Amino acid sequence: MLRSHRELFEIPREVAYLNNGAFTPLPRAVREAGEAGVAAKSTPWRMDPEATRERAEAVRTAAARCIGATADDIAIVHSAAYGVATAAANLPVERGTRILLIEGEFPSQALEWARLAEERGAVLDLVPRPADGNWTRALRERIAQPGLPPVGVAALTPLVWTDGTLIDLEALAAPLRAQGAAIVVDATQAAGILPVDVARIGADFLVFPTYKWLLGPYTLAFLYAAPGRQGGTPLEQHAFNRVGGAALFDGRLGPPVPSARRFDMGQRYNPVSLPMALAGMALLEGWGREAIRERLRASTDALAEAAAGFGLLPTPRALRPPHILGLRVPAGVQAGTLVAALAENGVFIAERGDSLRVGAHVFNDAEDIDRFRTALGPALARSTG
C-alpha cells in the first residue's frame, strides 16, 4: 500500500487535518513552485514567453489525463462557477423542459441553472434526498417518471458534496440521452481521486478546480467541452481565444480558435498558479491514482469504524468514495459545537448541511486516526445538550 507522504507537507504532528473536502494543504513542492512564480513575476524581463505557453499546455494535458480527455478538450478557467456559466451560455435550454439537479446541490453548480430556468422558462427539478441514500436509483426513477416534461439539462456530480455519497453517472447517461438531455458535471470532489471518464459519463461539459483534491492553488480550474460542444461562444474575448486576436485591432473580429481553448479565461498564462497546479498533479500521477484510492479507502474505513463506535452513523461503505466520509449525528448532538470541540484538540473536519464531512488524503496516517478517535468522545460530551 502507498505509504503516508506527510513529510512532503507542512502539517504539525499535533494536527489531524481531515477537512480536505474544503481545502487540501499545499505540499512543499507546490508552495515552492508558487514562490518561484512570484519571483519570476518580480523580474518579468527574464520570463520566457514560449516556456510560459508550453507550461500552460502541459497543465492542460495533465488536467485532461484526470478525466480521460485530450488537451484539445480542456479550457483553463477561473473556477467551477465560471465553467458552469460557460456551459449554460452554450446550451439551448427550451421552455418547459426540465433542468435536473439534486436537492441541496452546491451553489456553484446550482445557482446558474436556477437563473437559467427562470430566464428560459424551464422547470427546475430538484430530486429530494432518498431515504436509503441511493441517489443513483432516485435520479433514475425521477428521469423516467411519467407525466414529467423531458430533461433538457442534467446538472450532476459524481458524489454529493456534503457527505460524499456516490452517484453513478455512467448508469444515468443512457436514460438522459434518450430524452435528449445535455449532461453538465461538477467533478470538484472527484477529479484527482476517483476514476472519471467523460466519454462513459457522456458529459457535454465537466468542470473541476485544483484547490481541493489536486493539491493545487485557488482560482484555477479546468473545463472539459465535448468535441460536439467546442463550437460555442466564450464568456470573454481576448487575444488568445480569437484567431488573429493578438494582432492590433483593425475592426475585424477573427473567428474563435478551434478546440475547447476558445473557452479559456483571460490571463490564462498566470506565472504563479500554473506551475503550482502542474506540481500538484505531478505528485498525484507519481503516486498513482489506484494506489491513492487504496490508501484513502483504508483511512476512511478506519475513521468510519471509530465514529460508529461513538454512535455516529457513517454513510454505508457501498455508497461512499475512498476519500470522503459522511457522518450523521445522533439526536441532541449539536454538530457545530462538535466540530469546534474537535478543532480545539487539533482535529479538523467540517459541518456540511445535515452531515459531518471527513476527508482523508495521502498525508493522513494512523496517528491522525487515533487523534480523531481519542478526541471524539469528549467532543461529543461537550456538544450534547
Say whether both 102 and 211 belong to one domain.
Answer: yes
Kindly report the average pLDDT of the chain as a whole number: 96
Say whether both 78 and 156 belong to one domain.
Answer: yes
Closest CA to 165 of 190, 197, 196, 200: 190
Provide mean pLDDT across the span 301-306. 98
When divided into structural domains, the chain yields a total of 2
Say whether both 100 and 212 belong to one domain.
Answer: yes
CATH number at residue 373: 3.90.1150.10
Say whether both 135 and 258 belong to one domain.
Answer: yes
- Integer Cα distance of 55 and 20 in angstroms: 27
User: Does the model's pTM come out above 0.85?
Assistant: yes
Provide mean pLDDT across the span 284-291. 97
Match 512564480 to its residue by C-alpha cell: 37
Percentage of the chain beyond pLDDT 70 is 100
Say whether both 176 and 298 belong to one domain.
Answer: no
Burial of 279 (0-12, 13-18, 19+ CB in 10 A): buried
Say whether both 255 and 354 belong to one domain.
Answer: no
Closest CA to 166 of 349, 316, 8: 316
Provide mean pLDDT across the span 178-192. 97
pLDDT (tens digit per residue) in 332-358:
999 999 999 999 999 999 999 889 999
Query: Could you tell me the residue range of the domain that residue 377 belongs to?
Result: 6-26+288-383
CATH number at residue 201: 3.40.640.10
Percentage of the chain beyond pLDDT 90 is 93
pLDDT (tens digit per residue) in 57-100:
999 999 999 999 999 999 999 999 999 999 999 999 999 999 99
pLDDT (tens digit per residue) in 5-40:
999 999 999 999 999 999 999 999 999 999 999 999
> Does residue 281 form part of some domain?
no
Say whether both 240 and 304 belong to one domain.
Answer: no
Task: State the amino acid at position 145 in one-letter form.
Answer: Q
pLDDT reading at 138 higher than 80: yes
Say whether both 10 and 68 belong to one domain.
Answer: no
Sequence-distant (≥ 6) Cβ neighbours of residue 64 within 8 angstroms: 70, 71, 73, 74, 224
Say whether both 245 and 363 belong to one domain.
Answer: no
- Integer Cα distance of 237 and 271 in angstroms: 21
pLDDT reading at 254 higher than 90: no
> Does residue 43 form part of some domain?
no
pLDDT reading at 251 higher than 90: no
> Does residue 33 form part of some domain?
no
Say whether both 121 and 171 belong to one domain.
Answer: yes
> Does residue 35 form part of some domain?
no
Give residue 252's pLDDT.
81
Say whether both 222 and 82 belong to one domain.
Answer: yes
Query: Among 224, 244, 270, which residue terminates a domain?
Result: 270
Sequence-distant (≥ 6) Cβ neighbours of residue 145 within 8 angstroms: none
pLDDT tier, 378 (very low <50, low <70, confident <90, very high otherwise): very high
pLDDT reading at 113 higher than 90: yes
- Integer Cα distance of 147 and 156 in angstroms: 22
Give residue 249's pLDDT.
83
Give residue 250's pLDDT.
82
Say whether both 74 and 218 belong to one domain.
Answer: yes
